[in-house]
Chains A and B, each alone.
Chain A
């Protein structure tokens, strides 16, 4: 790109362009649409609690600010933080295992001065970052050994998070790592071998699971066996979705959500409240919006300039997909109940910030390409 001596554009426009240079409009559009749907359904599912909607709006603004911030950080800065971030993340997870606070039977939180943090949330970004950095660094000389080391880098935090226990987060971290491995051209023979080994180790994994986690899996197979206990969530959620029909009961008219039969209706099970009021048609619209965001992420990934950015963008996009599909699969009774919110829709700040942080990185990768080029 060659600089002209005099820029003919007026100063205001130049300021605007400077500010929005790293905002990716198409991705932002999809994100804002999804957020709008989220606010709409939180209003209904919280029984028209405007306070909840405003609180979520505040969460969204914070998340968008974080997104903007990261969109403006060039990828190679991130590349440098990958190793320290990963080391800090693992160290914090070990601290959690040793000194963490127990909330609802799970040791997930760590006291840091005045506040508490959940290091597993950090790992959702730190791990793909680390693996992308690792594969980028050894890109020229990738051997089986490198894949083994990468697998170990993946297994360590996943194991720590599973032990907390937090199956949902562990699953997302694990999935992110797997996507990186797959995109880093892990040989098909090893993939097949791992698949067989994985299947063979299922009984062993089963023995590691907590009772309540096993119960969730059993309940998935037959939610009616325990309609008031473990199966209650899934059953009520399926009733909400199924009774919505093709066109839904209408906004603010979902009986399952409004009469409180649906548990966690503004957070993890918000999709059931949505499907009840907007039906199959609304469900299709939501799926398309998610696919729109994912498709944009895929395009950014495909066009990313370096191995690091390629792998990172792919991991972020596919983790977002995993988030969405695990949540909707769980709510519609296809997957066991794990605590995964519906990204950009569910009420709550933490996951919103993490997701938007990822999208900020995606935007950064897309918009800093030209600088790399030049």
Chain B
């Protein structure tokens, strides 16, 4: 008897057979159940044993977020410790565009608790365009404590917006150092690619800013420092739960410059409203004492991304404030070229110092008349007088005698037409005319007539104020040329170890000391009894120098340059190169004052103020506009 009894009323069919069928199917299903469970077990084995390492890695990657801590950027000071660039901590209101649906609505809403100007919005839009909205971007910076409090009380209303404390770069001296210190700005795509190519992108995780111009750019590797890293456990919403490990960032090194901020300011004031550039160099080291390009601009505008309106103003200004004239402006040297011409004459044996020529007020060559600045001429002129009165005719003749090959070979030694290698970017080469240069540039041969105007620093001559300064510093340093450099040393703020930017002697120029002495003697004469004597009257030291005037537009044959008739932008540039004290020079400089007329009037007085301040500590009086009387002595 089976242990199972079928319901008696329905037992019509062969119940045993039926139960047999049923149990067969139940066994089949049990087999199916076992098979499926086995399959699941195999799957678990595959995930948990075979692929364990892979999923373990993924889980750790989920869990651990490496949070970079940006280092504090190095501080830039002048030689006396005056701060030129530093950092301060402030609050910014940041928006993460990817987290926000309606940006306009959010910005409008934020405007109710924090002041947001149209300028802020324009700047934000520009950043958004540049970064394609992947980063968190500041909509407002430098929030007041009250604004921070107001935002935080309402922050639940603004998903995607957050307050962050951040270090800001500030340039307390404003436009005074815009062309030297430069500025930082947000890292753009090109810079990011470059960082990746250099393999230093890891060190820039967490850094939004990079040096864009000036020292900020060229000393970026020193200033930036080393990014710290914190390993943080995060949840699925990205909230940090706890810190697993931590490596502090190492602040960037501080730059200490050769530059003297107060001297720089003296220079800046001395230029008044004029445009131009000045470079002052310590002849014995090549250290740059002052480097000014006027007008400048406020580098603080660029730190957070410049707003489009300011950007347009700076770009469209006819004064080109963004151009660093000291490095990128090229000017004909005018008569400041003459001392080197005189040295060339001595070196190549074309003139003896006492050998005089007669100047009738002009020099005729090949049917052209080259006029002297003094129409009636200087009469008999020897080398000393040629420099002191700046006689053009003397140098027309000399240039013709030397020939262009000798001139360019000699001038090349002084660094003309070649970048000096100063420690900031943006330097241009200028033009040292030569036969090869002309062939290369214009595909034409050199005409001897072109040599004549080269002799007085006109013609194709075009040099940067920095090159002029380097040349005169070399002359002042008895022919030993140094690479100009702005930075004295970089100081590690932890170890206080200094990395000194060593003076680099580039070369010693092949000129006899007695020839140098002759020319230097004449340059002392220029300041004592020559073209710049008025500017240096009563100076408490002996200085040497040379004035110059550079034509901006060529004057037609037989026409006379009358300053008042020429539009302001076409007036001559005033130049001055010089050094002091004459016997043991501590400072050499080159000045270009754009469209200011004669060098003796516009440029030499600036040199006087610089020397007075640097050598005697004398602050120039504020009311010194000496351009009122314009007597017509030659420059």
Given A182-B25, A260-B235, are A244 and B48 also a contact pair (CB < 8 Å)? yes
List the A residue with the shortest CB-CB distance to B237.
A260
Contacts of B7 in A (CB 8 A): 305-307, 372
Given A185-B25, A279-B48, A307-B10, are A259 and B236 also a contact pair (CB < 8 Å)? yes
Give the distance to chain A from B227, nearest Cβ to Cβ, in Å. 25
Q: With an 8 A cutoff between CB atoms, is B5 at the interface?
A: yes
Contacts of A246 in B (CB 8 A): 48-49, 52
Interface residues in A222-270 by Cβ distance below 8 A to B read 236, 238-246, 255-256, 259-261
Interface residues in B13-43 by Cβ distance below 8 A to A read 13, 18, 21-23, 25-26, 29-30, 33-34, 36-37, 39-41, 43
- A238 near B13 with CB under 8 A, answer no
Contacts of B48 in A (CB 8 A): 241-242, 244-246, 275, 279-280, 283
- A139 near B10 with CB under 8 A, answer yes
A139, A179, A334: the one contacting B29 at CB < 8 Å is: A179
Q: With an 8 A cutoff between CB atoms, is B80 at the interface?
A: no
Q: With an 8 A cutoff between CB atoms, is B109 at the interface?
A: no
Cα-based distance from A310 to B52 in the complex (angstroms): 43
Q: With an 8 A cutoff between CB atoms, is B58 at the interface?
A: yes
Q: With an 8 A cutoff between CB atoms, is B541 at the interface?
A: no
Q: Which of A196-204, A211-219, A321-329 contacts B (4 or more CB under 8 A)?
A: A321-329
- A140 near B26 with CB under 8 A, answer no
Give the distance to chain B from A298, nearest Cβ to Cβ, in Å. 6
- A241 near B47 with CB under 8 A, answer yes
Contacts of B6 in A (CB 8 A): 305-306
Q: With an 8 A cutoff between CB atoms, is A207 at the interface?
A: no
Give the distance to chain A from B516, nearest Cβ to Cβ, in Å. 75
- A140 near B5 with CB under 8 A, answer no
Cα-based distance from A140 to B40 in the complex (angstroms): 40
Cα-based distance from A241 to B41 in the complex (angstroms): 12
Interface residues in B167-201 by Cβ distance below 8 A to A read none
- A183 near B236 with CB under 8 A, answer no
A242, A283, A298: the one contacting B55 at CB < 8 Å is: A242
- A280 near B55 with CB under 8 A, answer no
Cα-based distance from A287 to B12 in the complex (angstroms): 41
Give the distance to chain A from B635, nearest Cβ to Cβ, in Å. 74
List the B residue with the shortest CB-CB distance to A334.
B43
Q: With an 8 A cutoff between CB atoms, is A291 at the interface?
A: yes
Interface residues in B218-242 by Cβ distance below 8 A to A read 233-237, 241
Q: With an 8 A cutoff between CB atoms, is A49 at the interface?
A: no
- B49 near A240 with CB under 8 A, answer no
Q: With an 8 A cutoff between CB atoms, is A314 at the interface?
A: yes
Interface centre among B7, B13, B18, B47 (most CB of A within 10 A): B47
Give the distance to chain B from A262, nearest Cβ to Cβ, in Å. 8
Give the distance to chain B from A246, nearest Cβ to Cβ, in Å. 6
Cα-based distance from A185 to B21 in the complex (angstroms): 7
Contacts of A140 in B (CB 8 A): 10, 12-13
A245, A283, A310, A334: the one contacting B22 at CB < 8 Å is: A310
Given A325-B37, A328-B40, A332-B47, are A243 and B237 also a contact pair (CB < 8 Å)? no
Q: With an 8 A cutoff between CB atoms, is A136 at the interface?
A: yes
Given A179-B29, A280-B44, are A239 and B58 also a contact pair (CB < 8 Å)? yes
- B59 near A256 with CB under 8 A, answer yes
Q: With an 8 A cutoff between CB atoms, is A87 at the interface?
A: no
Q: With an 8 A cutoff between CB atoms, is A318 at the interface?
A: yes
Give the distance to chain A from B566, nearest Cβ to Cβ, in Å. 69
Interface residues in A297-313 by Cβ distance below 8 A to B read 298, 301-303, 305-307, 310
Contacts of A303 in B (CB 8 A): 3-4
- B40 near A183 with CB under 8 A, answer no
Cα-based distance from A69 to B45 in the complex (angstroms): 40
The 4 closest A-B pairs by CB, nearest first: A242-B55, A243-B59, A260-B236, A259-B235
**Chain A residues within CB distance 8 Å of chain B:** 136, 139-140, 179, 182-183, 185, 236, 238-246, 255-256, 259-261, 275, 279-280, 283-284, 287, 290-291, 294-295, 298, 301-303, 305-307, 310, 314, 318, 321, 325, 328-329, 332-334, 372-373
For the A-B complex with A244-B48, A275-B48 known, give 7 more contacts whose Cβ atoms are closer than 8 Å: A185-B18, A243-B55, A279-B48, A287-B40, A298-B29, A329-B40, A332-B43
